[in-house]
Amino acid sequence: MKRLLVCLLASISLAVVAGEGHAYKCDASMEECAAAFKKWAETETYSGIYVEGLFSGEKVTISEVAEGSPAAEAGVMAGDVLVAINGHGVAAMTKDKWKEMKAEIQAGDAVWYKIARNGEYEKLKVTVTAFPMDLAAQKLGYHLMKAHMSPDTATAANN
């Protein structure tokens, strides 16, 4: 159970703050990780934004908006500064507050993003969806390569 929890926490960390170069070793089996990612994806919501600066105490900038995602359909653009979600300011948000806020949001819910763009504030309604299983599979693959394979095996798998 402890190994499964470690894997699940690693998967959540990847989902919230995805980034290259993280060096960690997961003690769970690949099968346990696959089950944890599937369970996570079944309860996680998706808007399609990727941000920089979350949990830093600084401004939170939207670095990427996935094409065809709920956020893209709502008009969110890369370069926008995310000011608030459902009235909760994000610049000084803690990880605990983030988890608490995310737990209240379900697939199909309308979520209000307050953004700053070109010195103007705007509120955009984003209807979040369930996390796409193809993206969950990509995250699982990334996790398995980074946390379960030796560097030589991971390099061979990429070729």
In the chain, the domains with their CATH numbers are 2-44+132-158 (no CATH), 45-129 (2.30.42.10)
Helix (H, G, I), strand (E, B) or coil at 137: helix
Cβ atoms < 10 Å from Cβ of 53: 16
Cβ atoms < 10 Å from Cβ of 29: 13
Q: Tell me the pLDDT tens digit for each residue of 26-75.
A: 888 888 888 888 888 888 899 999 999 999 888 999 999 999 999 999 99
Read off the pLDDT of each residue in 140-145 and give the average, rounded to a whole number. 85
Q: Tell me the pLDDT tens digit for each residue of 85-120.
A: 999 999 989 999 998 998 899 999 999 999 999 999
Query: pTM surpassing 0.75?
Result: no
In sequence order, the β-bridge partners of residue 65 are 49
Reported residue count of the chain is 159
Between CA 120 and CA 142 the distance in angstroms is 37
Strands (E), the chain: 45-46, 49-52, 60-65, 81-85, 88-89, 110-117, 120-127, 129-130
**pLDDT (0 to 100) of residue 154:** 46
Residue 126 has pLDDT above 50, yes or no: yes
**pLDDT (0 to 100) of residue 6:** 35
Q: Name which of 96, 95, 85, 81 is nearest 51 in CA terms.
A: 81
**pLDDT (0 to 100) of residue 133:** 85
pLDDT band at 2 (very low <50, low <70, confident <90, very high): very low
